[in-house]
Amino acid sequence: MMNFLAINILNSGVQLSMVCAAIGLAFAFFLIAAVTRAPSGNERMREISAAVQEGARAYLNRQVKTISVIAVVIFILLFVFKDHPTAIGFVIGAFCSLAAGFIGMRVAVLANVRTAQAASVARLNALRVAFNGGSVTGLLVVGLALLSVSIFYTIAANLIGSDAAIRSLVGLALGGSLISVFARLGGGIYTKAADVGADLVGKIEKGLEEDDPRNPAVIADNVGDNVGDCAGMAADVFETYAVSLVGAILAGLLTIGGNPATIVYPFLLGGISVVGAILGILFVNVARGKPTAVLMGAVMTNALVSAILFWPATRNLFPGGVSIDGVLRSPAELYFASLVGLIMTPVIVALTNYYTSSHFRPVQKIAHASETGHATNIIAGLAAGEHATALPVLFIGAAILITFHFAGLYGIAIAVMSMLSMAGVIISLDSFGPITDNAGGVAVMANLPKEVRVVTDELDAVGNTMKAVTKGYAIASAGLAALVLFGSYVEELRGHITSRGEVFSFQFSLSDPKVIIGLFIGGLLPFVFTAFSMDAVGKAAGAVVREVRRQLQVKPGILTGQERPEYGTCVDIVTKAALREMIVPALLPLVAVIVVASIPSLGAVVLGGLLVGTIVTGLFIAIAMTSGGAAWDNAKKFIEEGNLGGKGSFAHAAAVTGDTVGDPYKDTAGPAINPMIKVVNILAILIIPIFF
Amino acid sequence: MMNFLAINILNSGVQLSMVCAAIGLAFAFFLIAAVTRAPSGNERMREISAAVQEGARAYLNRQVKTISVIAVVIFILLFVFKDHPTAIGFVIGAFCSLAAGFIGMRVAVLANVRTAQAASVARLNALRVAFNGGSVTGLLVVGLALLSVSIFYTIAANLIGSDAAIRSLVGLALGGSLISVFARLGGGIYTKAADVGADLVGKIEKGLEEDDPRNPAVIADNVGDNVGDCAGMAADVFETYAVSLVGAILAGLLTIGGNPATIVYPFLLGGISVVGAILGILFVNVARGKPTAVLMGAVMTNALVSAILFWPATRNLFPGGVSIDGVLRSPAELYFASLVGLIMTPVIVALTNYYTSSHFRPVQKIAHASETGHATNIIAGLAAGEHATALPVLFIGAAILITFHFAGLYGIAIAVMSMLSMAGVIISLDSFGPITDNAGGVAVMANLPKEVRVVTDELDAVGNTMKAVTKGYAIASAGLAALVLFGSYVEELRGHITSRGEVFSFQFSLSDPKVIIGLFIGGLLPFVFTAFSMDAVGKAAGAVVREVRRQLQVKPGILTGQERPEYGTCVDIVTKAALREMIVPALLPLVAVIVVASIPSLGAVVLGGLLVGTIVTGLFIAIAMTSGGAAWDNAKKFIEEGNLGGKGSFAHAAAVTGDTVGDPYKDTAGPAINPMIKVVNILAILIIPIFF
């Protein structure tokens, strides 16, 4: 039971985070105004942008319809077998995740044409327009996540009490995650099928440049950037943020009990970092220098502001410390846990940068391997991806050990929330890539002078590394968040009384073969999940290749510029393929959890193993795929910069093959693991009272 | 304390297995005589064979020297920090593993030239000569393993008692495993660097056929088949067999205590299956029909004979059952556990066959993906490898659950030993591939008529699938064996009293962050291990490519047949590269275990997580790599049979790239995981009294 003072702390703390979220949203609208004010280029540019936007909107609408059917089914199941607040939470989470996707797409289309225009003035202008566009997405998505969770919690706590409200937040997290799996997969299959298909015939067979309007798949490729890299990523971030927040609140409830300060704390960390993100964004708008340095400055600004402000917040919230699992933890210990999260962000960013930037050995090794052919390029890239798992995983392990030492499971949860609190500025970096990529597309298709393309190409290369490092950040935080959820699963089971009146008392010991089998089944999920995703891209890309070849054969005038390609058929092929192929892998984790949970008398133990197994192999595969893919991409760019023979050389052809293989690795299969491992863990928590 | 009767059972049981092993060896010598009697072809064929043999022997001698240095260091460490019997066991295990490699190489060279000669008479003759050659290796290696373990145990038990003797057998297992890691890596890097290097220039750039004597890397390639596929594989099997036997004996000691029947039982299963293997080999020598059907008949014969004979052996050994962990287990329950092992063999063989044979969808999908280019071929192959993990892992999980249900950890151990008892006949299948491959090489280089090459090509294709399925068998059994070792680690720790006088009481619970970190570090090992192996092949292959290109440029007469290539330089490049590059990955698991074990107060728990983490990701990566690689290979063969455009088509070029990527996957990195996960687990058991 909470006393009056406790409720007061709770309300005022949550309200403060709402205020911060509102400030973030206000600043996002200010940025929208600023971006919109930027000149949007000539008629032809706006026309191309509109065509791409139309394709993207059409696809997202169809994706919403497909996903809605599944969401409605799950809503009904939750409404009947679980409880009404959870079901309502699910709908809110699902809706916000979809909304985040639309926001990401809208903003990207707004920003790309203006970045192309700004690139014709100066590099710095283009950098700022693209970054500000990305920042709009970042702030809107983070604000949306913070507001939806805090408002839902506040209302639900008033109606059904704080504990029940927290448990129904798990429904909101599931809604966000599940939609995000679909959005990541659908968008990822779309963008990479179009990209691979366009490249295989256009670049490799016909020697066309990227974004050449004679390539019949070029519009599909540009639509793909918007629905995959922008919309898919935004949905993913909403999910990651919301789940980390809910996970931290849940860990607070389960390991500490009714102490309202532990519930407020994650909200506060999120709110404070919105202020840090705004200052980071302002930094980019005043700083000058190399693009990478300027962008990294934003991250450091945010980290610094948060590190400073987290301390008074922690001290005021826990003046006498807090008792966790019977041990009194000082405010300093909690603060240190949050600091680990802040430090992890630049650490993971720096490590991923090492593995994926063309300035370092791993990427250069792939480039050199290209000199001896396609196969040695692929072998080197696969090895590079595997190598790239080593340091991040060791640091994640260290973070777990340290934060657990400070404050148990709640300490890990706080570190994750603290890490995720920087999502606003991280997303600004992440969106930067697709926006400049699209700007380049607009520039080529609108026949802008070559200097413009040079600027957008340079920024695109920076954006590539940013995309890679933010993916490292996303998967590291996802792994940690999923572990917090697993911890919550164990805690929730500990006191649970089964329908037969027994009290669960599990150890999830590795010497229990049921746990080992769970680890095997869970470990299998990321393998099969990514296998399906890769298959989907390969299949859809193959269809695009055949269509492009067909068009070029039927209308030979396309290549000479005398005939216009039919862009629509490629868009149509990819749309259908993406919607069809996303279903099986997206449902796979749901089905696996339900099937395992239904094994009589073994379910709960095997499921525990499954959750951890999915996290372990998922973490490795996701890092190997995203880093490996980015390394292939940058090895190709390294050669295109004139090294090892440059464009058109034997090495370049091999590097293009590597880049193409890396496409589904880094933009479809790899990042989709991120929400997948969380769906599995959230669902497990939700179904405890239904199955056990 | 054992009574007189018990000692009697023990002695007579172990002696019976020695007799069976001796029969196996005698039959092997009979087969050697039979193979030697077969005509060895003309002068030129013998000359080529001798050249290849010389290169292989020279490499193996240098490999022995390199490995010996490391083995001596470890022997001294064990002698000083552990105990003398364990150190002596280590030397015996290491020596036998090396000897097995030499046997594998010698027999292969004996058989390949005779297979080539037999192929000029009839397909059936060639099939029998190649299979009998493989059978010699199989029987010699199994006999060597069974004899070395039983003799060492018998002598040691007389000197230091049964319990201490069993513990020093762990040293023998470590010796076998460690040398096997080196042999697998060194041989694997050698064979695939030569193969990839020869293919990249010879096949892809210059359009030469396989084994064309104008290719300067052709002798290195043929030497590679002998030192990698034959010698490396033989060392690996010795290790797998010896470790499974030792693991089962150890599990018997740790979970049941001093009951001698539980120690004899694994020996007996091994001995009985030698008889089964001989009957299986005889079956191939009398049966007629499709090569695949005849070879599978041998497996079924062995399984059937063992299934029949295991029952009386079990009933006589455990007339009143046996008490395991306080539960009385009937003879039928133990027999069922052994039956699961026998059934697992054909199950895993059939599953792997589905994923890797060109008659089924997975391989055909890769072939079709080749029509749209190199990249889609690679994407499809990577996905196929991942898919191929699903069913084997689920069946392995089921086997664990069932056998644990029958007889706890000892039940799993019995199933593994029963599975491994069929190694004699399985190796006969496995060696079949490289022998026919080499026979083809001899046929081409000796200018034998084209019909001969047609026969060897057909048998080589069968051999490819056999190699793939036996790798599935090897990794499935390795995963299970490693789990038994992990179980022994836990049991051994349970009663262990630390140097500080504390008694260990661990749960290895998944909610302990130390266990999670262990899972992460362990999960990392196979990733980094395979990354280094792939790198090594890529690097060495690149060097071969540059050398071959250099020779063809300096001596343009090579391609027209007017100048003789310098085979020696390629052999030299690959030899040095293999010996240099195998060191780091081979030492990686040792270093990881030692470093983790030395973490003060956390070591034992983190190490427990590490052991399981390595098994989980190792199992998946090994299956994905070996099956994926074989699928790529057979997709290429499917196209070469005339499908989808056949040889020389666009699809074929893409398929060759996939095959080349698959080479280090299936023959270097993938199979080396097999001994690696066992080295980790054995070492952990050994160091308990040193570190904790």
Reduced 3-state DSSP string for A134-172? HHHHHHHHHHHHHHHHHHHHHHHHHHHCHHHHHHHHHHH
Proportion of chain B in helix, strand, coil states, percent, rounded to 5: 85, 0, 15
**Which of A196, A206, A386 to mutate against chain B (most B CBs within 10 Å)?**
A386
Average pLDDT over residues B407-413: 93
Exposure letters B397-411 (e unless 16+ CB within 10 A, then b): bebbbbbbebbbbbb
Name the helix (H) or strand (E) containing B323: strand B322-324
Q: Does the pLDDT of residue B29 top 70, yes or no? A: yes
Tokens of B51: 């050249």
Report strand pairing: A322-324 vs B322-324.
unpaired
Can you give the pLDDT at residue B285?
92
Exposure letters B528-548 (e unless 16+ CB within 10 A, then b): bbbbbbbbbbbbbbbbbbebb
**Which of B484, B516, B625, B659 to mutate against chain A (most A CBs within 10 Å)?**
B516
Could you tell me the sign of the dihedral formed by the alpha carbons of A34, A38, A43, A44, in that order?
Answer: negative
Average pLDDT over residues B176-193: 91
Nearest Cα residue in chain A from B385: A531
A 68-97 residues with CB < 8 A to B: none
Angle at A526 between CA A522 and CA A530, to 5 degrees: 155
Can you give the pLDDT at residue B7?
63
pLDDT tens, position by position, B655-680: 999 999 999 999 999 999 999 999 99
Average pLDDT over residues B359-379: 94
**Which of B205, B366, B376 to mutate against chain A (most A CBs within 10 Å)?**
B376
Q: Which amino acid belongs to residue B599?
A: I
Residues of B in contact with A617 (CB under 8 A): 523, 616-617, 620
Q: Regarding predicted confidence, which is higher, A255 or B596? A: B596
Average pLDDT over residues B649-657: 93
Among the ranges A435-444, B107-116, B638-647, which has the highest mean pLDDT value?
B638-647
Residues of B in contact with A390 (CB under 8 A): 524, 527-528
Name the helix (H) or strand (E) containing A328: strand A327-329
Alpha carbon of A466 to those of A127, A276, A477, B49, B435: distances in Å? 13, 19, 16, 56, 51
**What residue spans of B498-602 are helical by DSSP H?**
513-554, 557-560, 567-581, 583-597
User: Do the chains contact at B390 and A546, CB–CB below 8 Å?
Assistant: no
Nearest Cα residue in chain A from B608: A510
In chain A, % of residues over pLDDT 70: 98
**Rounded to an integer, what distance in angstroms lies between the CA atom of residue B214 and that of residue B218?**
8
Angle at A465 between CA A462 and CA A469, to 5 degrees: 135
Can you give the pLDDT at residue B603?
83
Average pLDDT over residues B295-318: 93
User: Would you tell me the crossing angle of helices A603-640 and B513-554 to the nearest 10 degrees?
Assistant: 30
Can you give the pLDDT at residue B523?
97
Q: Does the pLDDT of residue A202 top 70, yes or no? A: yes
Going through B126-170 in order, the beta strands assigned E by DSSP cover none
> B503: which DSSP letter?
B
Report strand pairing: B327-329 vs B322-324.
antiparallel
Can you give the pLDDT at residue A505?
66
What Rg value do the Cα atoms of chain A yield, rounded?
24
Average pLDDT over residues B596-625: 92
Q: Does the pLDDT of residue B386 top 70, yes or no? A: yes
Mean pLDDT of chain A: 90
pLDDT tens, position by position, B564-578: 888 888 988 999 999
End-to-end C-alpha distance for chain A, whole angstroms: 28
Residues of B in contact with A546 (CB under 8 A): 372
User: Do the chains contact at A541 and B393, CB–CB below 8 Å?
Assistant: no
Can you give the pLDDT at residue B534?
93
Q: Does the pLDDT of residue B1 top 50, yes or no? A: no
A 200-239 residues with CB < 8 A to B: 200, 204
pLDDT tens, position by position, A215-242: 899 889 888 888 888 888 888 888 989 9
- State whether residue B70 is helix, strand or coil: helix
User: Do the chains contact at A375 and B196, CB–CB below 8 Å?
Assistant: yes
Can you give the pLDDT at residue A537?
92
**Rounded to an integer, what distance in angstroms lies between the CA atom of residue A37 and that of residue A125?**
13
Contact (CB, 8 A) for A187 and A231: yes
- State whether residue B400 is helix, strand or coil: helix
Among the ranges B70-84, B249-263, B677-691, which has the highest mean pLDDT value?
B70-84
In chain B, % of residues over pLDDT 70: 98
Cβ within 8 Å of residue A692, ≥6 positions away: A493, A496, A498, A499, A504, A597, A603, A604
**What residue spans of A510-649 are helical by DSSP H?**
513-554, 557-560, 567-581, 583-597, 603-640
- State whether residue A323 is helix, strand or coil: strand
> Could you tell me if B193 lies within 8 Å of chain A, comparing CB atoms?
no
Can you give the pLDDT at residue B2?
44
Can you give the pLDDT at residue A1?
41
The torsion angles phi and psi of A446, rounded to 5 degrees, stand at: -90, 10
| Of A344-348, A631-635, B53-57, B294-298, minimum mean pLDDT range | B53-57
Q: Give B9: exposed, middle or buried? Use CB within 10 Å, 0-12, 13-18, 19+.
A: middle
Q: Which amino acid belongs to residue A67?
A: I
> A225: which DSSP letter?
I
User: Do the chains contact at B378 and A657, CB–CB below 8 Å?
Assistant: yes
A 364-403 residues with CB < 8 A to B: 365, 368-369, 371-376, 378-380, 382-387, 389-390, 393-394, 396-397, 400-401
What is the number of CB-based contacts under 8 A between chain A and chain B? 237
Name the helix (H) or strand (E) containing B189: helix B162-198
Average pLDDT over residues A589-602: 89
User: Do the chains contact at A545 and B372, CB–CB below 8 Å?
Assistant: yes
**Rounded to an integer, what distance in angstroms lies between the CA atom of residue A162 and that of residue A263?**
10
Contact (CB, 8 A) for A416 and A480: yes
Q: Does the pLDDT of residue A60 top 80, yes or no? A: yes
User: What is the maximal distance between C-alpha atoms in chain B?
Assistant: 79
Average pLDDT over residues B494-507: 73
Contact (CB, 8 A) for B439 and B126: yes
Nearest Cα residue in chain A from B621: A527
Q: Whole-model pTM?
A: 0.93
> Could you tell me if A520 lies within 8 Å of chain B, comparing CB atoms?
yes
Identify the bridge partners of residue A328 per DSSP, sorted by sequence position. Answer: A323
CA nearest to A527, candidates A606, A613, A598, A597 = A613
Contact (CB, 8 A) for B157 and B165: yes
C-alpha distance from B520 to closest chain A C-alpha (Å): 6
Nearest Cα residue in chain A from B383: A531
Mean pLDDT of chain B: 90
Among the ranges A3-7, A516-520, A549-553, B167-171, which has the highest mean pLDDT value?
A516-520
**Rounded to an integer, what distance in angstroms lies between the CA atom of residue A579 and that of residue B46?**
61
Q: What region, left, alpha or beta, does residue A498 occupy, with left being phi > 0 and alpha being psi -120 to 50 degrees?
A: beta
Tokens of B61: 């001698």
Exposure letters A661-676 (e unless 16+ CB within 10 A, then b): bbbbbbbbbbbbbbbb
- Select from A394, A483, A664 the Cβ nearest to the Cβ of B379: A664
Tokens of B159: 């000197």
Q: Can you count the helices (H) and strands (E) in chain A?
A: 22, 2
> A503: which DSSP letter?
B
Can you give the pLDDT at residue A611?
95
